[in-house]
Amino acid sequence: MGIFEALPWSFYEQDTTRFWVHYGLVLLGLLLAVITFIVQWLSPAPYGKHERTDANWGVMIPQRIGHILSDAVPGVLLFLIVFFVYGDARGYANYVFLLLFQAHYIHRGILHPLVMRYKNPYVALGITLGGFFPNCLYHFVNADFIGSAHYNNNYFFDPRFIIGIVLFIVGYIINKWADWKLRSLRDRKGDDGSTGYYIPYGGLFELVTCPNYFGEFVEWIGWSIATWSAAGFVWTVFAAATFFPRARHNHQWYKEQFEHYPPNRKALIPYIW
Ligand SMILES: NC(=O)c1ccc[n+]([C@@H]2O[C@H](COP(=O)([O-])OP(=O)(O)OC[C@H]3O[C@@H](n4cnc5c(N)ncnc54)[C@H](OP(=O)(O)O)[C@@H]3O)[C@@H](O)[C@H]2O)c1
């Protein structure tokens, strides 16, 4: 298969309006990622460790509902609707991509919020909406792309597909393992073990402060390569625009909170940063 066969512009050649809607939104996504990076680098979004009483992000809603709204509605509901109603390609590769995305978002948007042990059971509506609207944009373009892209029948043997899927699965395992490890830190009952913060040890936590973000970053890099899409690329850039600043703030926070925080641990990328 020629390397250009799966390039984006081939998919909407019959419909220029749709082409420009899609790529207009992709460009908007790129701009939003740049703005997000700058804003979050300067100041972390005020939830979890970085919650601030002076920040006014609107009324408080139950945190579990907030995450379901910001992640499951765009990542599961909107994605499925766009894929099945708006999309028109029905090759095996399209379904593999659908399955992978759903595997991530059914966990992140439904299971994760239901089982995590949050310090604060409430979150500001503004934080939820700050996740909901960008997610709608990025998940729309990704579902639009994989719902309509025509991958070659031999795409399963394409290095982009193989490398991308391997990265996605490795990142998926790291991300879920790290989040469950964080959850287990609050296993203890009867003292402040139910709401306190502790230093996580073991596995990738020995190398970086935020292996959950690192794992998810690897996942989306794999997604971009496997889907070979501009939509996947801008989503990965946006994810990086939240992971790098937040990992930096988290790393700083741990060093300030814990005198004996392991000094060789990096923030996000093992051995590098
Ligand atoms: N795609 C994206 O753009 C994007 C952006 C952000 C997050 N995410 C994903 O969403 C998931 C959650 O992200 P997050 O920012 O909420 O992660 P986080 O700050 O690491 O927190 C995850 C959970 O672990 C708890 N926790 C964290 N550190 C702890 C510690 N030292 N001791 C005890 N408990 C601790 C948190 O409790 P508290 O809530 O009480 O702090 C929370 O319940 C991750 O999988 C991440 O990759 C994706």
Whole-number Å distance, alpha carbon 145 to ligand 1 midpoint, is 29
213 lies in some domain: yes
171 lies in some domain: yes
CA distances from 224 to 75, 134, 152, 234 (A): 16, 18, 17, 9
Predicted confidence (pLDDT) per residue in 242-256, tens digit: 999 999 999 999 999
Predicted confidence (pLDDT) per residue in 156-180, tens digit: 999 999 999 999 999 999 999 999 9
Predicted confidence (pLDDT) per residue in 52-99, tens digit: 877 788 999 999 999 999 999 999 999 999 999 988 877 899 999 999
Which of 149, 131, 152 has its CA nearest to residue 22? 149
Per-residue pLDDT band at 272 (split at 50, 70, 90): very high
d(CA 107, CA 97): 16
5 lies in some domain: no
87 lies in some domain: yes
Task: Work out how many domains the chain is built from and give that number.
Answer: 1
Domain with 103 in it: 20-257
CB of 175 closer than 6 angstroms to any ligand 1 atom: yes
d(CA 29, CA 254): 31
Cα torsion 51, 53, 54, 60 to 10°: value is 80
DSSP codes, 210-244: -HHHHHHHHHHHHHHHHHT-HHHHHHHHHHHHHHH
Which of 104, 176, 213, when mutated, tests ligand 1's pocket best, judged by the most ligand atoms within 8 Å of its CB?
213
220 lies in some domain: yes
Which residue in the block uniquely carries the two structure tokens 């970053």?
A: 217
242 lies in some domain: yes
3 lies in some domain: no
More confident residue, 141 or 1: 141
101 lies in some domain: yes
Atom of ligand 1 nearest to the CA of 197: 32
